[in-house]
Structure 1
Amino acid sequence: MLAAMASSPSSPQAMTAARERGDACPGTLRLHAADDGALARVRVPGGVVTAAQAEALAAAARRLGDGDLHLTSRGNVQLRGLRESCGAELAEVLGAAGLLPAPGHERVRNVVASPLSGLDGRGLRDVRPWLVALDRSLCASGEARELSGRFLFALDDGRGDVAGLGADVTVRATAGGGAVLCLGSTGAVLRVSGDEAPRAAVLAAEVFLATVRASGTLVWRVDELSVSADALASEVRRRLSESGIDVDGAAQREPVDTTGPAPGSSGDALSVHVPLGRLSAAQWGELVGVAAASPSSGELRLTPWRGVVVPVPDLDAPRAATALDRLEAVGLVVDPASPWLRVGACVGRPGCAKSRTDVRADATRALVAVGRAPLPVYWSGCERRCGRPRGDLIDAVAAPDGGYRLTAAVRGRDPRTAPLDDPSHFATALAAIAP
């Protein structure tokens, strides 16, 4: 049946990716050689780490790497500046902390989840049970080991925060205890039982793999498939039915809001933003200290927006203010009006050989002007634009001849571009392209 699928793209944005090699995405057991040393990417499903696991990550960064923890746009953690020969020692440390429950699946445990789920009363469902069930089912699937390290699952509690992050398989809670299963960023939406949603998500991923094998084309993401969205949905529906999961018709995609948690206090949680996603040992230590002070929780939730949510049950205003003061004192952002929430950057020099400049330093120099920009700003050291988020933004890309090219990338409008010779002149260049 798979071989008979139509050959039209699975989404308007899809393009067939005739890749010539396997996915080289780094993990914990497969280190990546960067200019500042080896790099390990530790998958943290849903961004959830216990205080003990957080301390193990910090210890590994201090002993084996540059001492910092680098957050990714999927709520994972990267350790940089590692010795090339430290792989076995790193795996032992992380395995002992429970961060490598299934070594054969360690690169495919890419799951984002609503960070405030169950903490602020806004979601339709607490997705933590979904997260546990999905990770367990994913690690139990022999087929799932073939997924690319770029394949992404999203678990949305109904508020629409992670549903707009372009995951390959998204589960979103609906009223009455149900769920919808979304395929790709714009593909079909199927109604399923909330209780069966995590298993349905893994089965959908297995259908994706079978579709890739049948097509004879190497692709990594659902949106890259050359089959039609309807054909893929039909095959997923058939696979779910065979596995005893009812599909209660199709549904429409609901609105999304991908801004992420605002810094400050919200319900039973504290939220902070991490400037450019880089956490020092002191910052990480303060976060762990706040988490450990709540024994009934004792965890951190790393967000896809390079932030951290700390669950603090029965949080009152005085305790929240004291904790936020501690976190702000070490350089974490607790002010929802901070311009840091509107700026991001790739790692740049000296960590990346392909980067033309130190983009993080330039982003910091332009911070005040960025606060007046009508859109978020993302700084990239080259045209690959690693880590750039989805959505409308100001694209600042380092130019081969020095300086940057600023582009206002707004959906539905022609891009407007201007040169930026020096980050201190950001406001002038911005005025030339402001949408």
Structure 2
Amino acid sequence: MPVGESSGRSRPDACPGALQVHEAADGLLARVRLPGGAVSAAQLRVLAVCAAELGAGVIELTSRANVQVRGLRSPEIFAGRVAAAGLLPSPAHERVRNILASPLSGRGPDGLLDVLATAYALDRALCARPRLAALPGRFLFALDDGTRDVAGLGADVTYLATGRLLLAGRDIGLTVAPDTAVPLMIDAAEAFLDELSTDGPRAWRIRELPDGPARIASRLRDAPSGIATRPPDGRPGRMDAPPASARRPCAGRIAQRDGSVAIEALVPLGRLTSAQAGALAHTGHAVRLTPWRTVVLPDLSPGEADRAEQALAAIGLTTDPDSPWAGVTACAGRPGCVKALADVQADARRWVHGLGRAPATPVHWSGCGRRCGLPRGQVLQMIATTNGYEEHQE
């Protein structure tokens, strides 16, 4: 396997966090990790107030189901408030708590396991290992409930409820039982740190290590715990997840297996105003943020779902799967990014307002050739240049 698309890094990872903020072109930016994308109504209310009182009034949803607050005027007060809300359980580990989970967490028709409980257990185990605070802020865990919605997102370590463990998105023959998934995932992170060379190129992800998945798997198979094994025939198993693809957000009602209802709503360009976030918190329901920058309200009765849909529509969040906003994403652009050549947020909004329905192919607007935030899979790319936008599709 080649070294990877970002080998030979010359500096440590500098991903922002709630404490280690990033100085963007439009001010300080803080990122708050939400393992499993889960946030309570009370916590969301705190974030909304922080965005309004301390920031630029916007909460950005990230492709890892985390949140960002831009234009912070007092990062110290912000950090104190999110810590008091239970969103900062370990200051040393706050940038490495990157844990995706299937948003419905076993509730949907194909779900097999409540992976949100596993996400919480993984978060606790991660924070309990002092050494793992040294993980790069890009290192990513994922927990797939059997729906195979997050299995194709290329996380460094992915647990599938079908009993498989993927490394850098590859199934190379590691099996694990649900009750040993968390220890194995922690061991995989430890193995990654063991494989990092002190005098060679830096790596932020397993895929950036030469033969990274095989090297990590070898360490796990040799571990005394013996919880990682080959399939009975001794050969690596076939990939137990679909190829990575650009999932179109599944807006609308989703029937849960227990008879309850979940609602997924589109968030235009993944940005909530502080007023929208406050109104969402005011519904009183727990919220799940997704890697597709949507919000999910699970465990609703039919009557609650009716009221929730009305509340979402009132604040500009649509539950129509054919909405022109479905599948349209954009980087920060101007004025938030010094490298951007255009205000892609404004340009994308004008473009969407000219559509009658969702575009046939997901579309991503980028302010420069770095293409930050580009979704995986087939995407029509609108890349800003000094002479307008260049269309590109891979």
Where do residues 117-128 of structure 1 align in structure 2 (5 Å cutoff)? 117-128=105-116
Which residue is 2:367 aligned to?
381
Greater alpha carbon shift after TM alignment, 332-341 vs 230-239: 230-239
Contact 2:246/2:378 (<8 A) preserved: no
Cα 1:260–1:50, aligned 2, differ >3 Å: closer, same or farther? farther
Partner of residue 31 from structure 2, selected from 31, 35, 41: 41
Q: How far is the alpha carbon of 1:375 from its aligned partner?
A: 1.4
Question: 2:151 aligns to what SS in structure 1?
Answer: coil
CA distance in 1, matches of 2:371, 2:36: 24
CA distance in 2, matches of 1:19, 1:233: 23
CA distance in 2, matches of 1:281, 1:229: 41
Contact 1:342/1:370 (<8 A) preserved: no
Q: How far is the alpha carbon of 1:36 from its aligned partner?
A: 1.2
Which residue is 1:306 aligned to?
293
Q: How far is the alpha carbon of 1:67 from its aligned partner?
A: 1.5
Question: 1:385 aligns to what SS in structure 2?
Answer: coil
Letter in 2 for 1:279: L
Q: How far is the alpha carbon of 1:319 from its aligned partner?
A: 3.3
Q: How far is the alpha carbon of 1:236 from its aligned partner?
A: 2.1
Bigger Rg, structure 1 or 2: 1
- 2:220 is the counterpart of 1:230: no
- 2:168 is the counterpart of 1:184: yes
Which residue is 1:81 aligned to?
71
Letter in 2 for 1:79: V
Which residue is 2:307 aligned to?
322
CA distance in 2, matches of 1:92, 1:39: 15
Which residue is 1:365 aligned to?
350
Question: 1:251 aligns to what SS in structure 2?
Answer: coil
Where do residues 68-107 of structure 1 align in structure 2 (5 Å cutoff)? 68-83=58-73, 86-107=74-95
Where do residues 49-198 of structure 1 align in structure 2 (5 Å cutoff)? 49-83=39-73, 86-174=74-162, 179-186=163-170, 188-198=172-182
Contact 1:370/1:377 (<8 A) preserved: no
- 2:258 is the counterpart of 1:271: no
Partner of residue 390 from structure 1, selected from 333, 353, 376: 376
Greater alpha carbon shift after TM alignment, 152-161 vs 222-231: 222-231
Which residue is 1:346 aligned to?
331
Deviations 1:282-308 (A, max 9, x none): 321222122x1xxxxx41111110011
CA distance in 2, matches of 1:229, 1:327: 42
Deviations 1:27-74 (A, max 9, x none): 111111111110001111111011111111111111110122110111
Contact 1:110/1:153 (<8 A) preserved: yes
Deviations 1:113-170 (A, max 9, x none): 0001233343011112211111011111122111111111110001110001111110
Question: 2:170 aligns to what SS in structure 1?
Answer: coil
- 2:391 is the counterpart of 1:403: no
Deviations 1:333-369 (A, max 9, x none): 2101112112110011111111111101111121134
Which residue is 1:288 aligned to?
281
Q: How far is the alpha carbon of 1:217 from its aligned partner?
A: 2.6
Letter in 2 for 1:36: D
Q: How far is the alpha carbon of 1:228 from its aligned partner?
A: 5.4
Q: How far is the alpha carbon of 1:370 from its aligned partner?
A: 8.7
TM-score (norm 1): 0.84
Where do residues 204-219 of structure 1 align in structure 2 (5 Å cutoff)? 204-213=188-197, 216-219=200-203
Deviations 1:376-432 (A, max 9, x none): 1100000111111110111110012x21110121xxxxxxxxxxxxxxxxxxxxxxx
CA distance in 1, matches of 2:375, 2:327: 11
Letter in 2 for 1:27: G
Q: How far is the alpha carbon of 1:78 from its aligned partner?
A: 0.1
RMSD: 1.9
Contact 2:57/2:274 (<8 A) preserved: yes
Q: How far is the alpha carbon of 1:258 from its aligned partner?
A: 5.5
* Identity level (%): 48
Which residue is 1:433 aligned to?
none
Contact 1:15/1:225 (<8 A) preserved: no
Letter in 1 for 2:19: L
Q: How far is the alpha carbon of 1:260 from its aligned partner?
A: 6.0
Q: How far is the alpha carbon of 1:269 from its aligned partner?
A: 1.4
Q: How far is the alpha carbon of 1:229 from its aligned partner?
A: 3.8
Which residue is 2:20 aligned to?
30
More helix by share: 1
TM-score (norm 2): 0.92
Letter in 1 for 2:227: I
Cα 1:9–1:188, aligned 2, differ >3 Å: closer, same or farther? farther
Question: 1:247 aligns to what SS in structure 2?
Answer: coil
Question: 1:233 aligns to what SS in structure 2?
Answer: helix
Which residue is 1:432 aligned to?
none
